[in-house]
Structure 1
Amino acid sequence: MKSHLATILDRLLKLVEENNAKATYNFEREGEVQLTVSFDPEAQAFSVKYPKQKQPVEFDSIDLVAIEAYELVFDEE
């Protein structure tokens, strides 16, 4: 059985491998987008956009992006 966190990391690594700043991935919960992630190869940083915020947040760590995605998609509150 593959963990949810490993699946998220796999998806983020694919964004890095694509080497395309315009490529994005939506992480959804029950059909609703929780965050949209892209990777800027020049800056070596992830850009995370939340549906209710206009400005994206920059992360330079794949681990932090994965944890953020996991918490928004899989954590039960």
Structure 2
Amino acid sequence: MENSQLVAIIKRLDAMSNNEGNEVSSRRFEKDGEERGFVTFDPATKTYTLEEIASKQKFEFDDIDLAAMEIYDLLND
């Protein structure tokens, strides 16, 4: 059975939120070597911000599951 992409995304987001300190952390999400999204986590507000690279749109999430589902959809378009 193939590993779940959604679980991998959640693990990366969870690592961002569990980072020690008060610094904003970030991750890039790619598919086939093409950057699709850039995510930051702000520990002060406990929010994830997803920037879709192609459209330059930004979305904010205060729920890790919603952020992960949006990233999953972005990677599988």
- Using the size of structure 2 for normalisation, the TM-score is 0.82
CA distance in 1 between counterparts of 2:7 and 2:52 reads 22
Question: For residue 3 of structure 1, what is the aligned residue in structure 2?
Answer: 4
* Runs of 4+, deviation exceeding 2 Å: none
C-alpha RMSD of matched pairs (Å)? 1.6
- Which residue pairs with 1:29 in the alignment? 31
Unaligned runs of 5+ in 1: none
- Identity, % of aligned positions: 33
Residue in structure 2 matching 1:45, options 28, 47, 59: 47
* TM-score, normalising length: structure 1: 0.82
Q: Distance in 2 between matches of 1:32 and 1:10?
A: 21
* Separation in structure 1 between the aligned mates of residue 30 and residue 58 of structure 2, nearest angstrom: 17
